[in-house]
């Protein structure tokens, strides 16, 4: 990940997208990451979804920083490639969550996730020196239609690494969106999202 893991600096959004080559040597090169633009944080006519996916049998397959770099980079790069704007995400060792919206001309969600899952599985297996290993089990998606539910789920995803006991505060986690959100959103947006209560948010998260 081209961020400073000891601080909160992350790269500015690129002007163009470059997806990783199919046979990249992941031991030497990390895939480029298409960082999102500033968050919107309001519901529009486009579809807004919260998505959760876990590894098969909840195995901790993305158990090193390099593997989580890989997964986060592909998640964001393919989101840009297929026209999805991510507004919150958390990538962990055996699952991920994100809140994203389809922009004009975007591919459908299943197309995006199918490509992302297949490529992340292929590259992870290449990195681990195994062939044909199933990586992903399934994904769950929920369309968000109420502003309050939307904002609460944004906060839930930002705070997910804290929920799982990985960091003390969300912006310390290198493979999540909190530090990016705090840097790119307005102070009013940050305050609005972070004050949303998440203890009763229903998200599949038994990992």
- Model pLDDT for residues 60-86, shown as the tens digit of each residue: 999 999 999 999 999 999 999 999 999
Q: Do the beta carbons of residue 101 and residue 125 sit within 8 Å?
A: no
How far apart, in whole angstroms, are the C-alpha atoms of residue 166 and residue 181? 19
Q: Do the beta carbons of residue 108 and residue 60 sit within 8 Å?
A: no
Instruction: Give mean pLDDT, residues 19-28.
Output: 37
CATH number at residue 109: 3.30.70.1290
| The predicted structure's pLDDT at residue 204 | 85
| The predicted structure's pLDDT at residue 3 | 46
Select from 161, 205, 207 the least CA-distant residue to 5: 161
Residue 204 resides in a domain = no
Q: What does the pLDDT look like over 114-130, one tens digit per residue?
A: 999 999 999 999 999 99
Residue 23 resides in a domain = no
Count Cα neighbours of 193 within 13 Å in the Cβ-side half-sphere.
25
Residue 8 resides in a domain = no
How far apart, in whole angstroms, are the C-alpha atoms of residue 175 and residue 133? 24
Q: 93 is in which domain, residue-wise?
A: 48-194
Residue 41 resides in a domain = no
State how many domains the chain has.
Answer: 1
Strand partners, 91: 96
Residue 138 resides in a domain = yes
Residue 34: pLDDT band with limits 50, 70, 90: low
Residue 39 resides in a domain = no
Residue 200 resides in a domain = no
Residue 54 resides in a domain = yes
More confident residue, 6 or 150: 150
């Amino acid at each position: 990940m081209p961020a400073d893991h000891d601080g909160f600096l992350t790269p500015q959004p690129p002007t163009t997208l470059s997806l990783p080559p199919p046979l990249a040597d992941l031991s030497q090169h990390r895939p480029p990451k298409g960082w999102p633009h500033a968050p919107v944080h309001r519901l529009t006519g486009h579809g807004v979804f919260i998505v959760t996916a876990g590894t098969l049998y909840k195995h901790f397959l993305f158990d090193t920083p390099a593997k989580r770099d890989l997964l986060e980079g592909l998640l964001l790069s393919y989101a840009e490639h297929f026209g999805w704007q991510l507004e919150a995400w958390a990538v962990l060792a055996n699952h991920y969550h994100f809140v994203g919206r389809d922009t004009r001309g975007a591919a459908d969600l299943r197309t995006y996730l199918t490509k992302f899952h297949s490529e992340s599985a292929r590259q992870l297996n290449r990195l681990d020196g195994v062939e044909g290993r199933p990586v992903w089990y399934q994904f769950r998606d929920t369309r968000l239609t109420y502003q309050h539910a939307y904002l609460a789920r944004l906060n839930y995803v930002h705070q997910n690494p804290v929920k799982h006991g990985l960091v003390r505060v969300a912006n310390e986690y290198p493979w999540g969106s909190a530090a990016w959100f705090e840097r790119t959103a307005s102070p009013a947006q940050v305050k609005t999202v972070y004050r949303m209560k998440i203890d009763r948010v229903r998200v599949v998260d038994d990992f």
